[in-house]
């Protein structure tokens, strides 16, 4: 959850990751014996419940296309990501 939230602050998440983050928090809630696990998921759920529109404005599906870079789209886009460089 933390790594997605950090990327969310930078505006580097996709719409799918926002939904995935919510699903993860729902899977943690009520399914762990570790009390802090549930406690960690509730603030994230509240954030997504109340500010999802703002988060989506900062996020994007295809960052390289949205930024209108000069890189042709025929190139494998995953090769241009930071982790694959």
| pLDDT tens digits for range 11-21 | 788 888 888 88
In this prediction, residue 27 carries a pLDDT of: 87
Domains of the chain: 2-84 (1.20.1440.230)
- C-alpha angle 53-56-61 in degrees, rounded to nearest 5: 155
Task: Name the packing angle between helices 35-58 and 15-28 (round to 10°).
Answer: 160
* pLDDT score of 65 more than 80: no
Q: What is the pLDDT of residue 64?
A: 47
Mean per-residue pLDDT over the chain, rounded: 75
Task: State residue 71's pLDDT score.
Answer: 52
Is residue 50's pLDDT more than 60?
Answer: yes
Look at residues 53, 44, 36, 31 and name the one whose alpha carbon lies nearest to residue 2. Answer: 44
71 vs 33 pLDDT, higher one: 33
Contact 21, 1 (CB under 8 A): yes
């Amino acid at each position: 959850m933390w790594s997605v939230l950090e990327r969310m602050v930078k505006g580097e998440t996709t719409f799918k990751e926002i939904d995935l983050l919510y699903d993860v928090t729902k899977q943690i809630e009520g399914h762990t014996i570790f009390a802090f696990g549930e406690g960690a998921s509730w603030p994230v759920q509240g954030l997504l419940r109340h500010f999802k529109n703002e988060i989506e404005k900062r996020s994007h599906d295809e960052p390289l296309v949205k930024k209108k870079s000069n890189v042709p789209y025929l190139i494998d886009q995953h090769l241009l990501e930071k982790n694959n460089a």
